[in-house]
Structure 1
Amino acid sequence: MALLVPSLSSTISRLKSLSKPSFHNPLRALKTLQLHYKTSFISSFAALSMSNSNFPKTLIQNPSKSADDLVILGIETSCDDTAAAVVRSSGEILSQVVSSQADLLARYGGVAPKMAEEAHAQVIDRVVQEALDKANVKELDLSAVAVTIGPGLSLCLRVGVQKARKIAGTFNLPIVGIHHMEAHALVARLIERELQFPFMVLLISGGHNLLILACNLGQYLQLGTTIDDAIGEAYDKTAKWLGLDLRRSGGPAIEELAREGDPESVKFAVPMKQHKDCNFSFAGLKTQVRLAIESKNINAEIPISSASSEDRSSRANIAASFQRVAVLHLEERCERAIGWALEIEPSIKYFVVSGGVASNQYVRARLNQVVKKNGLELVCPPPSLCTDNGVMVAWTGIEHFRVGRFDPPPPADEAEDTILDLRPRWPLGEEYEKGKSEARSMRTARMHPSLTSLIQASIQKQS
């Protein structure tokens, strides 16, 4: 998204949720504003924007179609999948296309940003056109284009945003910038139409662990997050170290092998037992797994398909033990978060689990027990909507477009060097005061020697 000016009402409605980018070109912003608002409002907004340059960029206009008759194209390129979909506001999914980078993942043992960017660039035109063709719609039939602008890899995000802006500019379509994690959360409302705010969300993927209380559209309270590695990263690394096939990503590979193993055979410690918050940490568990693999002399260069019976059994036991402890960590954090959330919003009925790792059936089954025990109902999108996809982007675009949160069409002849709004790091919601992690604070302190000295001095003074 290029740099645009928000409306005041739209801005205020999102202050509680989304991270606030700054205006790089305030003079251009003021000119845009003058096209849409009276002079009296301009003066008050100008003073407000100068006092707080971190406002989000949304603009309220009159939608071109009824809110019940929207057709939106969603584009997703935040990481390693190029995805596009066309969705109606009725909830009908007209098309869904995903181009995977599985071969690149297997070759490099994970996401290589530059290679991922090139792969996106090679297929983005085909993927979007295929989504339009399958939906049997033309660009002029669209109400708007929605595109992920963050969080994610900036090189990858750029490919999707440039494509979205090209379409929007050429066909004079509004454009909606989408938060990747919000899209994972809100796609559940497409599947479960009874899902009303407020509700709880656990987002689990290769890059994120988030426990969110979704109070309303655009208003989220962060109960817990990861202080280092996300669970999907732990699955991927464990799969790599065990010599598994990464073309399907580490999660499915570990889940399949774990069915052959004994989950109690390796006594891994559950992370962060001493910290009574809702935050996550998988870096230490990864270290435990790596040491266990080394102790068994497992050679990752030998693929699991070529391993001896004894070697395969050792790998399966480690996979099963890792998965049990990793998910137990999720269970403990979710149980505490449910208690906190019910104190804040006693009317909560649903607990949504989404993101790539939510495709794991073992994860779903274990979390379903926790959720039911606390009187809530588990909602999980189907696996095809848990992993990164264009449907979730299009649907979230519909949700925001309905309430007037979108940007006007970009110029049809937009300059190639236009500064785009890409947000590789974009928090979702405010952090719950009770949920601030001592572990996170100490980790931050270790990154800043001056702060470490202050903490040590304080401890000595107290003793």
Structure 2
Amino acid sequence: MALLRGFLAASRPTMTRCRSYAWSLHTKADRQSVFFCGLPTLQRLKIIPLRSNVHIGGLSGGSSSDLVLGIESSCDDTGAAVVNSSGRILGEALATQAEIHAPWGGVVPKLAQEAHERAIDGVVQRALEDAGVSPSDLSAVAVTIGPGLSLCLKVGVLKARQVAHEAQLPIIPVHHMEAHALVARCCAGPSGAAFPFLCLLVSGGHNLLVVVRGIGDYLQLGSTLDDSIGEAYDKVARLLGLELQPSGGAALELFAREGDPRKFRFPVPLRKRQNCDFSYAGLKTSVRIAIEKEVGEPSAENRQARADIAASFQQTAIRHLAERAQRGAAWAIESYPQIRTFVVAGGVASNSEVRAALQAVAAEAGLELVCPPPRLCTDNGVMVAWAGIERLALGHCNPPPESPVPSDDEWIDLRPRWPLTDEKDSRCAPVLKSSRKKNINRPLFSAEQ
């Protein structure tokens, strides 16, 4: 705990590093060229041809001739990638929707669906062309079927079905959060993120702390009781009048560097609850009240006050995240002493301040922090393709679809509300009764299986 307190009290560093392949960048020049395996990315475009023929990890013993196309469309990014089982990204493309949703302050499902429909063919084609393969060269097609926005998921699922049918390929349904958790094994190699490992999944929709015991085998230590940290970042960014591109979270992280994190003393959530759950709704309310009292409408004159609020919010949000992760690490090591790795993934894992705080948590627990490169923390086709590689190696796939498109009365497997697991550590807080149980799919992993 002393190490964590020391980190939070210290001045912010200029650059942090999580293993040799994952840099967290703090300067404008750094952000313009994110380094990954020593190679700069291409500038992000409408449809972005990202790195091809890059080797970053892989399954030991896996055949490099196994190729999986991964398709991701669960929210507001349309991604596709071709990856082989030795961890080589042969081709990848991504279409973003930041400009579409920025005026609305959040993702509009119908607009997101329409943008996916316009982008999906070009994104998949670009990934295949950059990989130098045709669908007949693939071993399987993997696609996210949940959780996410059903209108958006459907676009990716239908495209995956079309490709799989035309080339008579097996199709691999993928859980979005499992893909985030497993992409670290693509980056570090299975030996660098060997099972079991501790995993913190942090994004705009999720806060989940789990022990990953194997493919599809998860023990939950903690989850969000209300809002995720990513949702809180986006909301506070909007309240502060920040430009929401490329995202509210990224804008707030940058803006907070101008502020004093000691200026406002926001309460750290759940301090009296000795568990690993997360809560950000109360913190959001405290920040909103401070903005209404100290700032009012955003302007150039109150920029410093707004930056101070941003910095103070970020420090409190990350302190809460780190404290819960610290307790989770202790629980995980007590139950699984062989754990050596702490994986942090999801969109918020690209935040350099979050990475630095969790590096302190990992060091205190005697674990190695493994973070995917920032570009693989946000939604992308690589993580889906890699989850497909892992599942294909275990034979977890469906036969080729019988037709390229479903019939009018055919059921399409979409799982917008799909828990990762229902098995929880015995020290977890009791589950509160909720009316939001309707239409929730059976978890990917169930203790009853």
Please report the TM-score for the alignment, with normalisation by the length of structure 1.
0.78
Aligned partner letter, 1:315: R
Could you tell me how far 1:109 is from its partner in structure 2?
Answer: 0.4
Secondary structure of the corresponding residue to residue 159 of structure 2: helix
Matched-pair contact (CA < 8 Å) for 1:105–1:247: no
Cα deviations by residue, 1:100-134 (Å, 9 ceiling, x for unpaired): 11012211100111111111111111111111111
**Following TM superposition, by how much is the alpha carbon of 1:412 offset from its aligned partner in structure 2, in angstroms?**
2.9
Cα distance change, pair 237–125 in 1 and its aligned pair in 2 (3 A) = same
Q: Please, which of 132, 136, 154 is the counterpart of residue 158 of structure 1?
A: 154
Please give the per-residue CA displacement for 1:324-382, whole angstroms capped at 9, x wherever unaligned. Answer: 00000111100111111111110000000000000000000011001101100000000
Paired position in structure 1 for 2:32: none
- Mapping of 1:240-319 within 5 angstroms? 240-300=238-298, 307-308=299-300, 310-319=301-310
- Please say if residues 295 and 305 of structure 2, whose CA atoms lie closer than 8 Å, have aligned partners that are also in contact: no
Equivalent residue, structure 1, for 2:341: 350
Q: 2:359 aligns with which of 359, 362, 368?
A: 368
Matched, 1:78 2:74: yes
CA drift of 1:400 comes to 0.4
2:428 paired residue among 421, 436, 440: 436
Contact 1:214–1:220 (8 Å) recurs in 2 = yes
Distance in 1, matches of 2:435 and 2:186, equals: 43
Structure 2 CA distance, aligned partners of 1:378 and 1:413? 43
Query: Is the counterpart of residue 427 in structure 1 residue 415 in structure 2?
Result: no
Structure 2 Cα separation of the partners of residues 69 and 169 of structure 1: 21
Check the 8 A contact 1:148/1:178 in 2, yes or no.
yes
Structure-2 change in CA distance of 1:170 and 1:437 (3 Å): same
Match of 1:202 among 200, 203, 222: 200
Per the alignment, residue 98 of structure 2 pairs with 102
Deviation, structure 1 residue 146: 0.2
Secondary structure of 2:68's aligned partner: strand
Aligned length in residues: 373
Say if 2:115 is the partner of 1:119.
Answer: yes
Amino acid at match of 1:116: A
Counterpart among 173, 176, 187 of residue 172 in structure 2:
176
Report the CA distance between 1:445 and its aligned residue. 6.1
- 2:425 & 2:89 partners in 1: Cα distance? 39
CA change 1:396–1:413 in 2 (3 A) is closer
Q: Identical aligned pairs, as a percentage?
A: 56
Residue 386 of structure 1, aligned match among 377, 387, 401: 377
Which 5+ residue runs of structure 2 have no aligned equivalent?
A: 1-61, 438-449
Matched residue type, 1:169: H
Native 8 Å contact 1:72 1:146 kept in 2: yes
Q: Secondary structure at the match of 2:426?
A: helix
Deviations 1:30-81 (A, max 9, x none): xxxxxxxxxxxxxxxxxxxxxxxxxxxxxxxxxxxx8442111000000010
SS in structure 2 at match of 1:248 = coil
3-state SS, counterpart of residue 372 of structure 2: coil
Contact between 2:128 and 2:134, CA under 8 Å: does it hold in 1? yes
3-state SS, counterpart of residue 430 of structure 1: coil
SS of residue matched to 1:298 = coil
- Structure 2 match to 1:17: none
Equivalent AA in structure 2 for residue 396 of structure 1: A
Measure the CA separation in 1 of the matches of 2:416 and 2:339. Answer: 31
Letter of the 1:213 counterpart: V
Q: Distance in 1 between matches of 2:64 and 2:250?
A: 38
Residues 261, 317 of structure 1: 8 Å contact kept: yes
Q: Residues 319-330 of structure 1: matches in 2 within 5 Å?
A: 319-330=310-321
2:302 match: secondary structure: helix
**Structure 1 position 429, deviation (Å):** 2.0
Q: Secondary structure at the match of 1:74?
A: strand
What secondary structure does 1:238 align onto?
helix
Give 1:95 deviation, angstroms: 1.4
Identify if the C-alpha distance between structure 1 residues 413 and 159 changes in structure 2 by more than 3 Å, giving closer, same or farther. closer
What is the one-letter code of the residue matched to 1:242?
L
Note if 1:226 corresponds to 2:230: no
State the Cα distance separating 1:216 from its structure 2 match. Answer: 1.2
Within a 5 Å distance, the mapping from 1:21-60 to structure 2 comes to none
Q: Which amino acid aligns with 1:148?
A: T
What secondary structure sits across from 2:186 in the alignment?
helix
Residue 426 of structure 1, CA deviation: 1.0
Q: Partner amino acid for 1:347?
A: Q
In 2, Cα distance between the equivalents of 1:447 and 1:119? 29
Structure ID, larger Rg: 1
Q: Please tell me the residue identity of whatever aligns with 1:331.
A: A
Distance (whole Å) between structure 1 residues aligned to residue 404 and residue 346 of structure 2:
36
CA contact (8 A) 1:279 1:435 kept: no
Would the alpha carbon gap of residues 366 and 100 (structure 1) be closer, same or farther in structure 2, given more than 3 Å must change? same
Instruction: Tell me the secondary structure at the aligned position of residue 118 of structure 1.
Output: helix
Distance 1:102 1:242, change over 3 A: same
- Higher helix residue share: 1
Contact 1:67 1:402 in 2 (8 A): no
Aligned partner of 2:3 in structure 1 is none
Letter of the 1:71 counterpart: L
Instruction: Give 1:414 shift.
Output: 4.1
Q: Which amino acid aligns with 2:426?
A: K
Q: Residues 276-328 of structure 1: CA distance to partner in whole angstroms, max 9, x if unpaired?
A: 1111111111111111110123315xxxxxx32x4110110000000000000
Specify which of 399, 403, 411 is matched with residue 394 of structure 2. 403
Q: Alignment partner of 1:79: what SS?
A: coil
Q: Is the 8 A contact 1:242 1:298 kept in 2?
A: no
Q: In 1, are the aligned partners of 2:295 and 2:306 still within 8 Å (CA)?
A: no
